[in-house]
Structure 1
Amino acid sequence: MEITKVIENEIKKASKYNLNTYPYKYIGSLENLTIYDFDEPALADVVKTAQEKYLEYRKTTLYQRTEILLNTTKLMEEHKETIAEIISYEAKKPVKFAMQEVERSIQTLKLSGIEASKLEGEYINLDVAANGGGRNAFTKYESLGVVYAMTPFNFPLNLVIHKVGPALAVGNSVIVKPSEKTPFSTYFLKYLLEQSGLPEGVMQVVTGDGEKVSDALLSHDEIKKLSFTGSVRVGEILKNKIGLRKLTLELGSTSPLYISKNVKKENIKDIAEQVVNGAFAYNGQACISTQKVFIDDEVFESVIEEIVKKTKQLQYGPLNDHTTDYSDLIDSQSQQRIIEWIKEAEQGGAEILTGGEIYKGSVKPTVITGTTEDMKICRQEIFGPVVVIENLKGRNITEILNDSSFGLNAGVFTSDFEEALQLSNDLDYGQVLINDVPTVRFDHMPYNGRRHSGYGTEGIKYAIKEMSQLKMVSLKYV
């Protein structure tokens, strides 16, 4: 299969709209590909098609929809290396991390079909009410209509499937706006779904400026649901525009971690390894990359020594080298912002223990301490290869972690069961992970953020409910 030709053919299906191309330069085997900048008339036609196709697709059986999804996973298995190459080049992701994303994506799509089969209603006893006798009643879940999905660059396949899989599984049509930096894995997913039997037009891909595209699409009442993963700033804008329609927002986080004095000393090296992986995998460009670590004084020196040592061992390299630990960041703007935040912290009295420098298209993995909460690297999501390590020095960890505008994932390492149970109840986060870094995510678990970290719940089982609507039917027989 000539992969670039397949993707190019998918993109060119929009050539009928006579659109301008969107100015973005790709790398590797994708460097000659271009995408379109969709305008309002083209987007209006996309919505019209999505609505027409929805009215047909919603009549398919759950069996038929599940078959499409599962057959697609088989094709994904056959083309794993090809898909990993697409992800690697468009997202500038080392191929070993790209392959991990492919494996997760296959599982996510499988789960979409499996979980949809479990979406069942219930029998309602209406005769509990004084005048409710003589009726049988039940509930059922139905599709919504057209779903609009917006996805970021960092997981260009798996985060798309987290939206597309549940939407298709329950009988919706879906319009996907991927990041203009990473559109090609979405186009290839569309191709594989249609090869597996998905009717053309049920899933459509649009590209261009995110704000303009969203303004145009959300002006159409046929859009019944928006699912967005991205920044807090954009999420707040979209929430103000969506009105009374369904909405899911998966936004940012500073992903804190607490390492208790109660950890077993023989586990410290392993904990440090997990911290380094959680902070620096894919250059820290994930919404749950471990960003802030608080360590009890009793174990602080031994833990931070291991973290710094392991961080210094990380290797920069080419994307296609399986030994590469970190590579270029997604773009030069991100590189410049991260360096500016590091320098701001350093000027404010923070100490850089390793890293903190530009290296080729990246920033060397950075461990920093002596920060204050007013610094950007502490109060904002850095989305880069930087981890803040601080000595707790007897302060209340619950108060520190809960005093945040974010509330997605928090991690705790402890060998004390009572402490683990207490913190799991006290920490005001959507997910509390005991003896794991906050970077851990399994694709079937609930995934919801509090405060500025999000709105609604993702995770396949939960997204399926948010992609559907509940109906009650009452049958009066006397």
Structure 2
Amino acid sequence: MDPVAFHVASRPAHGEGELTVHHPHDGRVVGRTTLATAEQVEAAVAAAAGVAATAAALPAHARAAALDHVSGRIAERAEEFARLITAENGKPLKWARAEVARAVSTFRWAAEEARRFSGELQRLDTDPTATGRIALVRRAPKGPVLGIAPFNFPLNLVAHKVAPAIAVGAPIVVKPAPATPLSALLLGGLLAETDLPEGMFSVLPLPDGRAAELVVDPRLPVVSFTGSGPVGAAIRRAVPDKHVTLELGGNAAAVICEDWNTDEDLTFAAHRVATFANYQAGQSCIAVQRVYVHEWLYDAFLPRLVAAVQELRVGDPSDPLTDVGPLISDAAARRVEAWVDEAVTAGATIELGGRREGATYPPTVLSGVPADAKVCVEEVFGPVLVVARVPHDQAAFAAVNDSAYGLQAGVFTHRLDTAFAAHRALDVGGVIVGDVPSFRADQMPYGGVKGSGVGREGVRSAMDHYTEPRVMVLTGLPL
């Protein structure tokens, strides 16, 4: 198995040493690459800085054509991408295919945004002193972007760094997660097929410990990071003068409101919560982790939820029928096991699950969990669901907010006034009404508050983060 090339300044390259990627399910080797050398890192950053002016001047049709090409090529090779994601990440094939479809859309949407990224006109003659003046406000790239991606969506979260950068004409240097570099490397090969100028992109496999050299490099004035809170906080402290966007995870909650009370309502909510607490083995920033149920619905909802979780098929992620696969590593599964055991020792009840096998931790439902247990307070990032009863909807909203995180929340209600009350009360980046917090459309603003980060992803939101307004005032016009 020959090492897969990475890309330095748009050109394929091999580095030093070897990075071996193992399948989380059975440990077999699924691919190899090499690590970028210090000289290659320097070449990538220098090339990005050197091509920045050319990239910013690229016409919209050139940027859009490159993005359309990548979107189309991902679609053509969708099954190859999906099976690669499953192999390096352990994600069930059904969810890997869904991730690939989202990446196709992300690049397509970026192409559309590139075509309409035109700025705005502002009349200035609202005051007499500005008679005959009009302003054109356009957005210009801040400069080359550093994109640091996590392991849990090894294709689409790289796409969310790369596609907006190309759309605005900003070079980008990507550091994929060391556990899952192969999808990003395959994407790099598709980018190399385009007519983008040399140096527009680099994809550099590096150990996490070497990311700091890129973070602090002044030639990369924008840093877009998705990953853990402590690392994100360290990045923010290290480069206070840079524009930094951080998507740092969450502790996503769903609320079953008082009016969501028919058998059909409760069964629907149970199946949605069961699915999206476990759909990436819980390794999603918006996987359902906490469920707050109105007290007079709790006894009807809990058995439905346990039954729905029990229906999920756990096993080999390459089987299209598998719903839940392994976590990214044995170490990750052992950590989840330890947190559940700690909660049980503190008084929690295991309604279902709770027995680890290697890197696989089964879908687990807990009740009676103390509010200060790690499975309530921290991001589990595993297939663990905490269910609690609350006396009324307002108490549920308060419980959702009693968290260091604030990414998204789901509110199961039919009432418009309750939906608006939740939107006003919940201290999160997004409120999903009538469904779980795990919904995300790739064009919408996505991000959180508190420990969940700063800034927003989503194609247009990222394009705004990568650019700054530049004003031109025209004078002496007969408006």
TM-score bucket of the superposed structures, by smaller chain: over 0.9
Q: Deviations over 1:92-148 (max 9, x none)?
A: 111111001001110111011112223232223334455434544311111222100
Structure 2, unpaired ranges of 5+: none
Question: Which deviates more, 133-142 or 418-427?
Answer: 133-142
SS in 2 for 1:458: coil
Counterpart position of 1:304: 302
Counterpart position of 2:289: 291
- Summarize the Cα distance change of 1:52–1:411 in structure 2 as closer, same or farther, 3 Å threshold: same
Q: Deviations over 1:1-42 (max 9, x none)?
A: xxx87x7244696756x5333465457898263333334443
Counterpart position of 2:335: 337
Q: Deviations over 1:365-421 (max 9, x none)?
A: 100010122100000000001000111134712222222111110111112332222
- Whole-angstrom CA distance in 2 between matches of 1:262 and 1:317: 37
Deviation at 1:325, TM superposition (A): 1.2
Counterpart position of 2:471: 472
CA contact (8 A) 1:408 1:450 kept: yes
SS in 1 for 2:245: strand
CA contact (8 A) 2:342 2:373 kept: yes
Residue identity in the other structure for 1:224: P
Following superposition of structure 1 onto structure 2, how do residues 127-166 of structure 1 map, counting pairs within 5 Å? 127-129=125-127, 131-166=129-164
Deviation at 1:457, TM superposition (A): 1.1
Residue identity in the other structure for 1:185: S
Deviation at 1:476, TM superposition (A): 3.8
- Whole-angstrom CA distance in 2 between matches of 1:11 and 1:24: 18
Question: Which deviates more, 32-41 or 171-180?
Answer: 32-41
The RMSD of aligned alpha carbons is 2.1
Counterpart position of 2:230: 233
- Whole-angstrom CA distance in 2 between matches of 1:239 and 1:39: 25
Counterpart position of 2:122: 124
Deviation at 1:62, TM superposition (A): 0.7
CA contact (8 A) 1:408 1:453 kept: yes
Counterpart position of 2:168: 170
SS in 1 for 2:280: helix
CA contact (8 A) 1:26 1:33 kept: no
Of 363, 366, 377, 2:364 maps to: 366
- Whole-angstrom CA distance in 1 between matches of 2:33 and 2:7: 7
Counterpart position of 1:180: 178
SS in 1 for 2:387: strand
Counterpart position of 1:461: 460
Counterpart position of 1:323: 321
- Whole-angstrom CA distance in 1 between matches of 2:292 and 2:193: 49
Of 88, 91, 95, 1:90 maps to: 88
- Whole-angstrom CA distance in 2 between matches of 1:184 and 1:199: 23
Q: Deviations over 1:131-177 (max 9, x none)?
A: 43454431111122210000100000011111100001110110000
Deviation at 1:468, TM superposition (A): 1.4
Residue identity in the other structure for 1:433: I
TM-score (norm 2): 0.93
Counterpart position of 1:353: 351
CA contact (8 A) 2:390 2:396 kept: yes
- Whole-angstrom CA distance in 2 between matches of 1:294 and 1:177: 38
- Summarize the Cα distance change of 1:357–1:32 in structure 2 as closer, same or farther, 3 Å threshold: closer
- Whole-angstrom CA distance in 1 between matches of 2:335 and 2:217: 36
SS in 2 for 1:282: coil
Counterpart position of 1:8: 4
CA contact (8 A) 1:30 1:90 kept: no
SS in 2 for 1:195: coil
SS in 1 for 2:301: helix
Residue identity in the other structure for 2:77: H
Counterpart position of 1:405: 404
Q: Deviations over 1:230-266 (max 9, x none)?
A: 1111110001112222111111111011101211412
- Summarize the Cα distance change of 1:137–1:415 in structure 2 as closer, same or farther, 3 Å threshold: closer
CA contact (8 A) 1:84 1:98 kept: yes
Deviation at 1:351, TM superposition (A): 0.3
- Whole-angstrom CA distance in 2 between matches of 1:119 and 1:196: 21
Q: Percent identity?
A: 31
- The answer to whether structure 1 residue 250 and structure 2 residue 247 are counterparts is yes
CA contact (8 A) 2:30 2:88 kept: no
TM-score (norm 1): 0.93
- Whole-angstrom CA distance in 2 between matches of 1:75 and 1:124: 40
- Whole-angstrom CA distance in 1 between matches of 2:51 and 2:66: 16
SS in 2 for 1:374: coil
- Whole-angstrom CA distance in 2 between matches of 1:303 and 1:169: 46
Structure 1, unpaired ranges of 5+: none
Counterpart position of 2:205: 207
- Whole-angstrom CA distance in 2 between matches of 1:72 and 1:38: 24
Of 342, 359, 382, 1:384 maps to: 382
Counterpart position of 1:414: 413
- Whole-angstrom CA distance in 2 between matches of 1:367 and 1:179: 30
